[in-house]
Structure 1
Amino acid sequence: MSTLHDQAMTHIYQQVLQRLLECLTQGQRASLQLLIQRMLVAAGGIERIGDFKVMLAHGGGKDSSFALAFLRAAQLSIAARAPATFELRVVTARHVGMSTAVIENIERGYSALVLHDDLRVELLVLDDGGLQHFDALKPLSPRQQQVERFDTLVAGHLTAGQVRPMFCNRFYLALAELYRQGMGWEGGVDALINADPMPERKRYLAWGRRMMREAGLSSARPAHSHPGALLQGLGQLRRIYLNEVLGLPAEPLRQVPGPRRIPRFIDIADLLQDSQQGQSVLLLEFLRFRYDELALGFSQSACANPLLMAHLAGLRAQWVQGQDYALGIAEHLQQVKAQLRRKPVPAALQALAMETWQDRERHGQRRRLADDFALQGYNLNEEQLACLLFAPFVDRGRNLERFVQARHPGMQAALPYLHKALKGVPSPQPMVQWLEEISGLPLSTLQMLYQRESEAATGGRSLLARARDSDPGRLRH
C-alpha cells in the first residue's frame, strides 16, 4: 500500500510541476533554472541536496506567494531528476491585523502546490510566542489577541494614535522572533531564503541595527553571514521594548534549541523581478490568489489591517480635528498613493484600490466593517479608539479635560475625581469604572500612562520615538 501511495503522490507532484511550468514565462523559466543551480551549489552538490533544508517566511502577500511557488517548482524539478531534493520549511507570523483574506490566500496557495501532505515540507505559524503547525481553520489564540490589544492601546496612548508605532514595532520584532525560532526549530535549517528586494532588505537591517545600538546592544558580525547573532540581538531588543515602552516585566527569551548547523542567507530576489513586475497572471490564477479590495493595493497586512489604519485616519479627522470623516480618509489615501509608488504594484491595481475607497457614498459601509474588525480582533469599540487618539492620560492627564469636553461633556464636573483616580488616590468606584470602560484598559495601566511622558513630550528621546523615526516603512516627504 505504501508503494502504491508513493507512486500516486509522485504522479500528483509531477502534475503540480507541469502546471507550474505552464504558468511561467520564458524569462521566469530561465530564472527557475538559476534558482535550481543556486540551491544545488548551496547544498554542496546534487549528492547532498537531500540533506539540505531551507526556510521561507511567508507573509501572505503576492511576493511571498511567488517566492514559494518558485521554491516549490525548484524542489519538484530536482526531485524529478535526482534521488532526493531539498526540504522546505515555510513559517508565518500570525497577528491580529492579518485579515481572513490573507489567511485564505496562504491556504489556497498551499493547497494548489500540494504542500500539506508532502513530508519534505513543513508549514509552521508563530502564535502566542511559539511555533506550531499551520492550520488555516484555527483562530488566533486568545492570549495573542490580548497581548496585541494591550500593545496597541499603550503605544496608541503614548503616540496619540500614530498607526505605525501602534502596530509596526511589534510586527518587526515578531518577524525577527519568527526567524529566530524558525531557524532553530527541530534541528534547524541550512539556509534562510530572502526574497525581499535589496533596498528594502537594507532598510530593515539598518532599522534593526540602529535600534539595537539605541538600546545598548550591538552585533559586530555581518547579518548576511551570521543571521543568528542579529536575530538574538533583536530578541533582546524585544525584551527591552516590552519593559521600556509597554511597562511590562522583561521576560527571558523563549529558549530555542541550538540549530544543528549555522544557517546562511540565500538571496532569490533577483530571480523574482519579472513576477513582482506583474508578469505572472497565470501563476496567480494557479495559486488562486485573490486581492482584497479593502487592502488599499497591499497584498499582505504587514503591520496592521489597512482597513483599520484608514478608519483611524477618519476618526482622527472627525473627533480630534473637528472635520469630516471622509476628509481623513482622503488624506490617508494620498499617503497610501505615495507608498504604492515605491512598490512594484501595477498601475491598474493601484487605480482599482483607490477607486474602491474614493466612493464617499460607501464610507459608511467601510466604517462599519472597520468597527467590526476592531471589535472582533482587538475587542475595541469606536469610542475606545477615539479615546486613544486624544491621548488623555499621558503627561499627567494634560489632554483629559479636552477629551472630556469634546466627547463626554457630561463628565466635566467629575474631572477632579478622574485625576485623583489616575494619581492613585482612592476615588468613587463609578469614576474608576468609567475610566476603564472608556479606555478599554485597567486602572493600573491608566495610572502607569498618567505618569508617563507622551512620545511628543520626550523630544525624540524615547525608544518608541527612535523606533518611529527609523521605521523602514515610514513615508518620508
Structure 2
Amino acid sequence: MSAIHDQAMNYVYQQVQQRLIGYFTRAERTALQLLIQRIVVAAGGMEQIGDYKVLVAHGGGEVSSYTLAMLRAAQLSIAGRAPRTFQLRVATLRHTGMTQDTLDTIHRGYSRLFFHDDERVELLMVENQQVLPFNYQRPLSSVGCETSQRNRLMIGHLTSGDICATLCNDTYLALGDFYQRVTAWNGGVHAVASGDSARKQSQLLAWLKKTAQAAGATLPTDKPASLNGLFARMDEWSEGFYRDLFGEHCVPKANASPGGHRNLASIGIADLLEGVDSTCAPLLTEFMAYNPDPLGFHFSHPTVANPLLMAHLRGLQAECLRELDYEEGVEGFFLQAAQYLRDRQIPDTLITQAMSREGRVLATQCAEQFFGLEEGQLICLLFSPFIHHGERLEGYLRQCHPGMLVALPELHKVLQGKPAAEMLQQWLADTSGVPLPLLQHLYRKRPTTLVPGATARSPRHERPMADGELAFQLSGR
C-alpha cells in the first residue's frame, strides 16, 4: 500500500511541477536552473541534498510568494531527476497587522503549490514568541494581541505620535526573535532563502540598528560572523529597546531555544531575476492566485505600511493637531503615497472610500482592532501629552478636554505618583488606554525620535551590502 501511495503522490507532484513550470518565462526558466545549482552547491552536492533544509520567511507579500514558487519549482525539479530533494521550512510571523485576507492568500498559495500533504515541507507560524503549525483559521491569541497593542501604544506615546514608528516598530523588532526560533526549531535549518535584494536587507538592518540606538541601547562595534550571530544581535537590539521603553515594567521574554546549525547559508534569488517584474508575473498572479491585500501590513514600505490606517491617523492628526479638516489629512496621505499605491494596484475604490464618512467608520474599526483603542484614545496617542513631565498636557486638555483644565495641577500630581483623587487616576487611564504605572513611567521619559523609513527610501549615508557580505531575507514580504 505504501509503495502504491508513494507512486501516486510522485505522479501528483510531477503534475504540479509541470503545471508550475508552464507559467515560467524563458528568463525565469534560466533563473530556476541557476537556483538549483546554487542550492546543490550549498548542500554539498546531490549526495547531501536529501538532508538539506531551506527556510523561507513568508509574510504573504508578493516577494516571498514569488520566492516560494521558485523554490518549490526547484524542489520538485530536483525530485524528478534524483532519489531525494531538499526540504522546505516555510515560516510566517503572525502579528496584529496581519489580516485574514493575508492569511487566506498564504493558505491559497500553499494549496496551489501542493504543500499540505508533502512530508518534505514544514509550514509554521510564530505568534507571541511561540512556534506553531501554520493554521490560517487560528484566531490571534488574546495574550499576543494585548502585548502587541500595549507595545504599539507605548511606542506611539514615546515617539510623540510618530505614525510610522507606532505602526511598524513592534513588528520589525520581533524579527530577530522570529528568525532565531524558526532557524533553530526541531533540528534547525541549513540555509535561509531570500527574495529581497542585498540593498533592501541592508537598509532594514540599518533601520533596526538606529531604532535601538535611538532608545539608548549600547551596540557592539564588531560585525556578527554568521547569520545566527546576526539574529541574536537583532534580538539584543529589540530587548534593549523594550527595556528602555518600559523600564522597571519591562517583562523579560522567554529566550529562543538554542540549537540548529551554527553556519547558516544564505541563498538569494534577487540577482537571478534582474529585469523580471515579479509583481505582475503570471507565476505570481495566475498560478499562485496572489491578490494584494490593501488593508494588510507591508514590511517593505513603512511609510505606507497599512494604507487605510495610515490615512486615518493622518486625518486625525490634521483634524486635532493642525486645525485642518480630517479629509485634508487623508487626501494628503494618498497624494504622497500615490506612486506606491499604483505599483501595488490598490483599487481606486478603496481610496475613494477612505475619504468618505463610511471610510472613517471602517478605519476606526480597523484601528480599534489593531490598537485596542477607541478614537479618543488614539487622538491622545497622537498628542502624546504625558512624556517629558507632561509638557504637552495643557495643550491636549485645551484642545480635547477643556473641562479638565481646572484639574491640570492635580493631574500632574497623579503622573508624579503623588497622592491624588482616584477619580483622576481612572480618568487618565481611561482617556489614554494606558495603565497608570506606565503613564507615570512615560511622564519621566524624554521623547524619542525614530525614523522607520530606511526600507522605504535610501539614506545617503548608508551603502548597500557588497557581494559576500551578510545578507538574507528579513521582511518575509
Matches of 2:425 and 2:212 in 1, distance apart? 39
SS at match of 1:359: helix
| Shift in alpha-carbon separation, 1:198–1:417, aligned structure 2, 3 A | same
In the TM superposition, residue 282 of structure 1 has moved relative to its aligned partner by 4.9
Give deviations 1:305-338, integer Å, cap 9, x for gaps.
Answer: 3321221111100111111111111222233236
1:42 is matched with: 42
What residue number does 1:399 align with?
392
Deviation at 1:358, TM superposition (A): 4.5
> 1:160 maps to which residue?
160
- Quote the residue 2:418 is aligned against: 425
Q: What's the counterpart of residue 463 of structure 2?
A: none
CA–CA distance in 2 between the matches of 1:91 and 1:31?
A: 24
Q: 1:304 to 1:361 in 2, by over 3 A?
A: closer
CA drift of 1:8 comes to 2.4
**Letter aligned with residue 31 of structure 1:** A
Alignment partners' CA distance in 1, 2:256 and 2:280: 43
Note if contact 2:53-2:86 (Cα within 8 Å) is conserved in structure 1. Answer: yes
What corresponds to 1:203 in structure 2?
Answer: 203
In the aligned structure 2, how far is the partner of 1:136 from the partner of 1:241? 31
Alignment of 1:272-291 (within 5 A): 272-273=273-274, 275-291=276-292
- Summarize the Cα distance change of 1:218–1:208 in structure 2 as closer, same or farther, 3 Å threshold: farther
Q: More relative contact order in 1 or in 2 (CA 8 Å, sep 6+)? A: 2
1:356 CA displacement: 3.4
Q: Secondary structure of 2:266's match?
A: strand
Whether 1:171 and 2:171 are equivalent positions in the alignment is: yes
State the shift of 1:204 in Å. 2.1
SS at 2:267 equivalent: strand
Give the direction of change, closer, same or farther, for the CA distance of 1:293–1:101 in structure 2 (3 Å limit): same
Shift of 1:272: 3.6
- Residues 30-68 of structure 1: per-residue CA shift (max 9 Å, x gap): 111111111111111111110111111112101110000
Q: Deviations over 1:148-204 (max 9, x none)?
A: 111111111122221222132222221222111111111111111121112212212
Partner of residue 32, structure 1: 32
Give the Cα–Cα distance (whole angstroms) in 1 for the partners of residues 353 and 437 of structure 2: 41
Q: 1:68 to 1:139 in 2, by over 3 A?
A: same
What secondary structure does 1:246 align onto?
A: helix
Note if contact 2:91-2:124 (Cα within 8 Å) is conserved in structure 1.
yes
CA distance in 1, matches of 2:84, 2:244: 49
Q: For 2:169, what is the secondary structure of its paired residue?
A: helix
Name the structure 2 match of 1:95. Answer: 95
Residue type matched to 2:359 in 1?
R
Q: CA deviation at 1:110?
A: 0.8
Equivalent residues in 2 for 1:260-299, closer than 5 Å: 260-273=261-274, 275-294=276-295
Deviation at 1:215, TM superposition (A): 2.7
Task: Give deviations 1:277-297, integer Å, cap 9, x for gaps.
Answer: 54513532221211234569x
1:312-391 matches, cutoff 5 A: 312-337=313-338, 340=340, 349=343, 352-353=345-346, 355-359=348-352, 362-391=355-384
Q: CA deviation at 1:442?
A: 0.9
Aligned to 1:108: 108
| Alpha-carbon separation, structure 2, partners of 1:219 and 1:5 | 55
Partners of 2:258 and 2:377 in 1: CA distance: 41
Structure 2 CA distance for partners of 1:400 and 1:236, relative to 1, 3 Å: same
Give the CA deviation at 1:236: 1.4
Shift of 1:372: 1.1
Query: 1: distance between equivalents of 2:323 and 2:458?
Result: 25
Q: Find the partner of 1:468 among 425, 434, 451.
A: 451
Q: Is the 8 A contact 1:102 1:301 kept in 2?
A: no
* Aligned equivalent of 1:311: 312
Distance 1:470 1:326 in 2: 24
**1:87/1:120 contact within 8 Å kept:** yes
Cα distance in 2 between the residues matched to 1:389 and 1:306: 17
AA matched with 2:222: A
- Do the aligned partners of residues 210 and 71 (structure 1) sit closer, same or farther apart at CA in structure 2, a change above 3 Å counting? same
Q: How many percent of aligned residue pairs carry the same amino acid?
A: 41
- CA offset digits 1:383-420 (Å, max 9, x no partner): 11001111111121121121112112222222222222
RMSD (CA atoms): 2.6
* Matched residue type, 1:257: P
Paired residues for 1:79-228 under 5 Å: 79-208=79-208, 215-218=217-220, 220-221=222-223, 226-228=226-228
Task: Classify the secondary structure of the residue corresponding to 2:346.
Answer: helix
Question: Is the 8 Å Cα contact of residues 295 and 353 (structure 1) preserved in structure 2?
Answer: no
User: CA–CA distance in 2 between the matches of 1:425 and 1:197?
Assistant: 54
Q: Which moved more, 1:168-177 or 1:154-163?
A: 168-177
| CA distance in 2 between partners of 1:357 and 1:318 (Å) | 21
CA separation of 1:274/1:138 partners in 2, compared to 1, >3 Å: closer, same or farther?
farther
> 1:95/1:54 Cα in 2 relative to 1: closer, same or farther (>3 Å)?
same
Counterpart amino acid of residue 220 in structure 1: D
